[in-house]
Structure 1
Amino acid sequence: MRIDIANAFGGEPALDRTRLEELDERVAEAHDRIAEGMENDEFGYTSLNLPETTDTAEIRDAVEPFADSEAVLTVGIGGSALGAATIADALESEVEAYFLDNVDPEHTARLLDSLDLSTTTMNVVSNSGTTAETLANFLVVREVMTAAGVDWTARTFVTTGPEGNLRELAEQHGLPALPVPEGVPGRFSVLSTVGLACAAIQGHDIDAILAGAAAERDRLSDSLFDSPAYAYGAVTYALAEAGALTNAFMPYAESLETFAEWFAQLWAESLGKDGQGQTPARALGATDQHSQLQLYRAGPRDKLVTLLRPTERADRAIPETDLEGLSYLGGSSLGTLLDAEFEATEASLAAADCPNLRVEIDEVDEHGLGELLFGMEAACICYGELAGLSTFTQPAVEWGKKAARGLLGGGEFEEADQVRGKERLVVE
């Protein structure tokens, strides 16, 4: 992974080069704290140990009974699904991957109606084993499988913690069960059983994913000038402090569009605390040059744009044409055009004094994806250290969970009482 931070200077808001040198001293302190947390397997920090602690043989053994799968359906929500979806959407496979990560009844019905459940493997993912959305979707899928004459116990495995409903279910029905690693928040769990089981069923090289992550881990150092991950975390933090409160994350590869969703959860849930944080906005190059770019160049000066691309990819030639106005395209290629769009957008933002950062990987393969996933996790943790945040907690999310559970009759929660007491002013 490579980070070009040159366009963080001279814009509005901007990063001062003297400030960057001062920031590097703080990065050294942050690195020491992160390294200590990794060494002691502290909650959250142990996420950065996953490249070496994740047991890929255990994952392959667990999914081996499902080698005949034509599709894999992951039932989870948030970090229990987004990491696996990021890998599935980035890499090609003959085994299709689907995700039930919401409880929209119409979407759920359409998806289940479209699947041959006799050749679909279901992976139910919840650390606690009590996540309402996940368990509700599981019950629906199980019912649909049974109605279709499919033995759901032969097509299901779970990824969960040592206790809870899913663990009890696995023991009761003899389901294969993978453990969720201890001390790893869901949004940091992509490089574990949580994110890699689906990839293993799809036939991806999960060892190569972890090797890419390990390569990026080995580049962590006490200077942001030697670590792309820390450079990204430190510069985004400094720009946020200067007023860039939105980070528009814009991959120039369709295969990385879901990665932008994964990044959005990582950034928002980890850093949005104590009146601080940076709002992630998802965009896609070159598509959103024709929509969102107008705002980034000419709107409020409160944004940073992150441009992400692979430098190597399969290409497709553009046919020659006798239309004079299009002759410049003939003989070129779609990849060349996309790269030109990338560089033009980068220059366009700089010309409009909008700070932007360039992130590159060699290609969208297992190794490159591992680099990118680990790199952004380390960047997020670095940002959190510099900002003095509790990066690994999510108290605002827990409030909503309690409110919803109370509304459904799952217990007495004062959060649910606040929802019931909402004042209304309806215009019809």
Structure 2
Amino acid sequence: MNVDIGNALGGDLGLERGDLDTLDERVADAHERIERGRARSEHGYAALNLPDTCDPDAIRRAADGFDPEHLLTVGIGGSALGAATLTGALGAGVDCRYLDNVDPVWVRAIVDEVDLSSTVVNVVSRSGTTAETLSNFLVVREAMEAAGVDWTERTVVTTGTEGNLRSMAARHDLPALDVPDGVPGRFSALSTVGLFAAEVAGVDLDAVLAGAADEADRLAGSLFESPAYAYGATTYALAERGAATNAVMPYAESLERFAEWFAQLWAESLGKDGRGQTPARALGATDQHSQLQLYRAGPADKLVTLVRPRESNDVGIPETDLEGLSYLGGSSLGELLDAEFRATEASLAAAGRENVRIEIDRVDERGLGELLYGMEAACVLYGELAEVSTFTQPAVEWGKNAARGLLGGGEFSEADAVTEKRRLEVE
């Protein structure tokens, strides 16, 4: 992974090279804290050890014997987004779907669309009590039974050492993968949580983990020696100067789900104590025609993160005699996309709007491993510099408790706030 922070300097927010030189002393201290946390496998920091601690053979054993046409991953948030990123970018030959919402019309449509007799279901929840996940799983299980499909022959569980799903797996002798200890869901893409779907979809797990290990080896006590830390430190420094939004814009359709994964990682980890950046999702070159106007000419409160592979397959553009378009003939879509990328980058810089370029060699297993690990390490560093509790999510837990209380799942004071909603209705 390569990170170019040149266009983050000298813009409207006033970040200069000297500011990064000063910040680098704090980066060295933060790196020492991160390394101590990794050495002790402390909660959260253990995620940065996954290239070494994840056992791909266990994942392969759980997937052994299945040759499905469809994979339904039933999970939400970190229990689905990492897997969706990997299979969306790299999966081939298997139709991978993710039941990560409880919109009844949408869920029913997906369940009705797939051939359940040739579907593998992976239900993912550390606690085994996630309301959305368990509800969707019960819907899928009922649909399989109605279709005459033995769900116990086509279900794999990924969960903690205790809980409803672990008990169900034991009762029905289901393949069960352990969610790793000390790894929050949004940091679990490089574990059993994200890699089972990838294995079923034909992704080379060893190569993914090797790419992540390469990036782990590049962590160092200076932001000028580590791409991940360069990104984490720069985004932190810009946020302190008013970059309240971080718009992540991959220039590859295959990385669209990556932006979604990044949004959870960044928002849930760093949105604490009145601090953090709001992640915005965009896609190049599509959103040059819908969002770039705001990023270039709107409020100077944003960082744009441009992500792309350096190499990819290409498609030639046929010659044409259409007036004004002859310059395109003999070129290629890849060359056009590259020009769009560089034009966007230059456009933002010319307007004084900060942007950062992140590149991987190509969208393959090693590249995705580097990218996922690099962004996780960047997020951890940002959290250290901002002195926030990176690995907790109290606001999310508040909402969960409120919903459980409304549904009769226990006595939760958070549910009382729902009845106290202020109303000003216009009909």
Q: Same fold (TM over 0.5)?
A: yes
- Give the number of aligned pairs: 427
Distance 1:99 1:9 in 2: 39
Aligned pairs for 1:23-422 within 5 A: 23-66=23-66, 68-422=67-421
Distance 2:281 2:57 in 1: 35
Question: Could you say what secondary structure the match of 2:316 adopts?
Answer: coil
Structure 1 gaps of 5+ residues are none
Structure 2 gaps of 5+ residues are none
Is residue 8–residue 14 contact of structure 1 (8 Å, CA) maintained in 2? no
Distance 1:65 1:105 in 2: 32
Distance 2:128 2:12 in 1: 46
By how many angstroms is 1:198 displaced?
A: 0.4
Partner of 2:19: 19
By how many angstroms is 1:12 displaced?
A: 1.1
By how many angstroms is 1:374 displaced?
A: 0.1
Distance 2:16 2:324 in 1: 44
- TM-score if structure 2 supplies the norm length? 0.99
Q: Which amino acid aligns with 1:19?
A: D
Distance 2:121 2:217 in 1: 35
Question: Could you say what secondary structure the match of 1:301 adopts?
Answer: coil
Distance 1:27 1:84 in 2: 31
Deviations 1:144-202 (A, max 9, x none): 00000000000101000001100011011111000000000000000000000001111
Question: Could you say what secondary structure the match of 1:325 adopts?
Answer: coil
Deviations 1:292-318 (A, max 9, x none): 000001100100000000000000000
Is residue 127–residue 161 contact of structure 1 (8 Å, CA) maintained in 2? yes
> Which has the larger displacement, 413-422 or 355-364?
413-422
Q: Which amino acid aligns with 1:23?
A: L
Q: Which amino acid aligns with 1:227?
A: S
Is residue 91–residue 198 contact of structure 2 (8 Å, CA) maintained in 1? no
RMSD after superposition = 0.6
Distance 2:222 2:32 in 1: 11
Question: Could you say what secondary structure the match of 1:43 adopts?
Answer: coil
Distance 2:270 2:19 in 1: 21
Distance 2:415 2:138 in 1: 24
Partner of 1:425: 424
Q: Which amino acid aligns with 2:28?
A: A
Is residue 72–residue 120 contact of structure 2 (8 Å, CA) maintained in 1? yes
Distance 1:21 1:74 in 2: 45
Q: Which amino acid aligns with 2:65?
A: P
Distance 1:103 1:260 in 2: 21
- TM-score if structure 1 supplies the norm length? 0.99
By how many angstroms is 1:421 displaced?
A: 2.0
By how many angstroms is 1:109 displaced?
A: 0.7
Percent identical: 72
Q: Which amino acid aligns with 2:255?
A: L
Q: Which amino acid aligns with 1:9?
A: L
Is residue 74–residue 100 contact of structure 2 (8 Å, CA) maintained in 1? yes
Distance 1:131 1:92 in 2: 27
Is residue 84–residue 198 contact of structure 1 (8 Å, CA) maintained in 2? yes
Distance 1:281 1:12 in 2: 20
Is residue 14–residue 355 contact of structure 1 (8 Å, CA) maintained in 2? no
By how many angstroms is 1:92 displaced?
A: 3.7
Distance 2:322 2:402 in 1: 61
Is residue 91–residue 202 contact of structure 2 (8 Å, CA) maintained in 1? no
> Which has the larger displacement, 14-23 or 304-313?
14-23
Q: Which amino acid aligns with 1:41?
A: S
Distance 1:237 1:421 in 2: 37
Question: Could you say what secondary structure the match of 1:157 adopts?
Answer: strand
Q: Which amino acid aligns with 2:40?
A: N
Distance 2:182 2:302 in 1: 33
Distance 1:273 1:92 in 2: 35
Distance 2:230 2:247 in 1: 17
Is residue 159–residue 165 contact of structure 2 (8 Å, CA) maintained in 1? yes
Distance 1:152 1:324 in 2: 60
Q: Which amino acid aligns with 2:144?
A: M
